[in-house]
Amino acid sequence: MSIMCDSTGDVLKRLRTHFGHQEFRQGQAQIVAAVLGGRDVLAVMPTGSGKSLGYQLPAVMLPGTTLVVSPLISLMKDQVDELNRRGIHSRALHSMLSVDSRHEVLSAARAGGLRLLYVAPERFASDQFLRLLGELEVARFVVDEAHCVSEWGHDFRPDYRRLCAAAALCRPSDRASGRPPIAAFTATATPEVRDDVIALLGLSEPQVLVAGFDRPNIYLRVERVDDEDDKNDLLPGLVRGRRALVYAATRKTVERAATFLQASGVPAAAYHAGLKDEERTRVQDAFTVGSLRVVCATNAFGMGIDRPDVDAVIHYAIPGSVEAYYQEIGRAGRDGRPAAATLLWDYEDVFTRQFLIDSPRRDKPWHSTAGLDPAEVARRKELEHRKLRRVIEYADTSACLRATILQYFGDTTARERCDSCGNCRPGAIDAYERELVRKILSGIARAGERYGRHRIVAMLMGETRELPPALTRLSTTGLLRHETSDVLHEWIEAAISAALVVVSNDQYRTLSLTEPGREVMLGRMHDLQIRRPSRGPMVSALRGYRTYHPHASRAESARRKHASRVDR
């Protein structure tokens, strides 16, 4: 039952002594308390956020062995090695062990000396192992990657379906009646998967904890557009100078976006499953080592990407679900630096998504599941449509974008307004744009506040041929050569409108900084109020609102537009 004698302070002390971590991460303390408390628990936290501690720390505090079902042998091995290194006696049982080693693990488990016993799910098909379960004193029955029990999850494992019955065979170490408490852990937080986990693992009135899904350094925004031309007006400004991923729905649009960017002077490559293996490897490697900064891709790209410094993720079309969206934008800003996620929202893209759901394709799980009856196929398609409707709601909402996503995932720590998304702060500039403004202001300052905008732009672009010698050697000379001069002119205009820069009212029209402009340049003014230029990096919020119609009529007009295109 519950560990009443352990106060929060004791738990923290145990965290420090056993695991060497000074503090809990967000959500961990609540999960540890819930698991110690003795109720069934479903804990949902993103991958890498430290879920395992949620059962490892209770395991060292509770009498008996904590049984951990885990589907990946390599991960299991790493965890067991790490635990033993920390002096927490643990073993793993899986098919890669020799018969002798397996016997050895079983006897160690029977002797009761193990704090944690990791088990691969296929072990539960073995009668010998099921008999052993009845002999163990089990503190907690932990199911890691619990979404594997659900067919809605991306990684269904039939063996997980045995776990509910297997847990019932275990004896709880606290000598209470019934089975030991089950603690299920997953990073997949969608409502369907959560419901499946609770039902199929047989969790009894579980405490459900969802935490850690917020990525506060990612600025979220939705830009409403009418067609591909609108998207292309915005795209170069969203990726230029950044390390960026552009996700499109089909191979053709991936190719078109990449070609358009190249034509706009932004080196970008396409990545999708239709390319030759060598080409895909080349693009992936170039992005990984940093020689290629912008990739346009289908969702095939990203799994193996290990670059923590992606500045921007742009969705060139609406994704199929909120979970896909969040996973894809989650590739931005993993180093904790500010990053931006922009969804270019054209209702017409919904038809492509609907087509992808309804057309038979090999890569969908239900097309590879032989013998599935048509009613089941229809049910699964309906689920995909439901997910699509939820992401349309996200795109259409005027509420806080961050809160909308977090509430979808059931993260109860979500605030109503985040003050750092396109809906809480319409027209706000992102981190890259803020830096751009600072660099322009620095350029004006370094040039001695004695030159007009054409020379300042030429200096920042590194176009030194016609410049006075003093401007050719500044630390800001060529600093923004990856931008276009149009973009820089527009930002200078915006800086003038925001009263960061003034123009002399003599014939020279020289630029100089105002006091607020100097503060911004020095990074001392955090609440920078500047309107993003109406062309260039982004359309203005106003234009966004003008093209926005209430959901139904938007859908209708897009449908008509789509129909007329198909007729042609």
Q: Which is nearer to ligand ADP, 143 or 541 (CB)?
A: 143
The residues in 400-439 that bind ligand ADP, with binding defined as CB under 6 A, are none
541, two tokens: 């919020």
Q: Which is nearer to ligand ADP, 10 or 376 (CB)?
A: 10
CA 32 – CA 53 distance, rounded (Å): 8
DSSP H or E segment with residue 414 = none
Q: Which is nearer to ligand ADP, 45 or 312 (CB)?
A: 45
Residue span 260-289 as binding mask against ligand ADP, x where in contact by CB under 6 A, dash where not: ------------------------------
Among 11, 28, 55, 62, the residue binding ligand ADP under the rule CB under 6 A is 28
Among 14, 25, 282, 307, the residue binding ligand ADP under the rule CB under 6 A is 25
| CB closest to ligand ADP, residue no | 50
Q: Which is nearer to ligand ADP, 85 or 524 (CB)?
A: 85
CA 217 – CA 179 distance, rounded (Å): 43
74, two tokens: 């390599």
58, 66 contact by CB (below 8 A): yes
Among 52, 188, 342, 477, the residue binding ligand ADP under the rule CB under 6 A is 52
Q: Which is nearer to ligand ADP, 51 or 455 (CB)?
A: 51
224, 548 contact by CB (below 8 A): yes
Residue 142 phi/psi, 5-degree rounding, is -100, 130
Q: What is the nearest approach in angstroms of ligand ADP to the Cβ of residue 117?
A: 18
Q: Is 21 in the site for ligand ADP (CB under 6 A)?
A: yes
Q: What is the nearest approach in angstroms of ligand ADP to the Cβ of residue 78?
A: 8
CA 203 – CA 209 distance, rounded (Å): 14
Residue 347 phi/psi, 5-degree rounding, is -55, -30
58, 36 contact by CB (below 8 A): yes
SS (H, E, C) 442-471: HHHHHCCCCCCHHHHHHHHHCCCCCCCHHH
CA 381 – CA 375 distance, rounded (Å): 10
CA 538 – CA 235 distance, rounded (Å): 8
Q: Is 49 in the site for ligand ADP (CB under 6 A)?
A: yes
Among 2, 8, 47, 281, the residue binding ligand ADP under the rule CB under 6 A is 47
Exposure class string for 238-266: b at 16+ Cβ within 10 A, else e: bbbbbbbbbbbbbbebbbbbbebbeeeeb
Q: What is the nearest approach in angstroms of ligand ADP to the Cβ of residue 22?
A: 7
Q: Is 45 in the site for ligand ADP (CB under 6 A)?
A: yes
Q: Which stretch binds ligand ADP (CB under 6 A): 24-32, 63-71, 243-251, 443-451?
A: 24-32
Residue 256 phi/psi, 5-degree rounding, is -65, -45
Q: What is the nearest approach in angstroms of ligand ADP to the Cβ of residue 276?
A: 33
Q: Is 50 in the site for ligand ADP (CB under 6 A)?
A: yes
CA-based max dimension of the chain: 94
Q: Which is nearer to ligand ADP, 30 or 262 (CB)?
A: 30
436, two tokens: 């751009």
Q: Which is nearer to ligand ADP, 76 or 406 (CB)?
A: 76
The residues in 214-233 that bind ligand ADP, with binding defined as CB under 6 A, are none
Q: Which stretch binds ligand ADP (CB under 6 A): 21-29, 61-69, 125-133, 318-326?
A: 21-29
CA 266 – CA 263 distance, rounded (Å): 7
Residue count, binding to ligand ADP (CB under 6 A): 13
Q: What is the nearest approach in angstroms of ligand ADP to the Cβ of residue 339?
A: 21
In this structure, the strands spanning 511-513 and 501-503 are antiparallel
Among 31, 53, 339, 445, the residue binding ligand ADP under the rule CB under 6 A is 53
What residue ranges bind ligand ADP (CB under 6 A)? 21, 23-25, 28, 45, 47-53
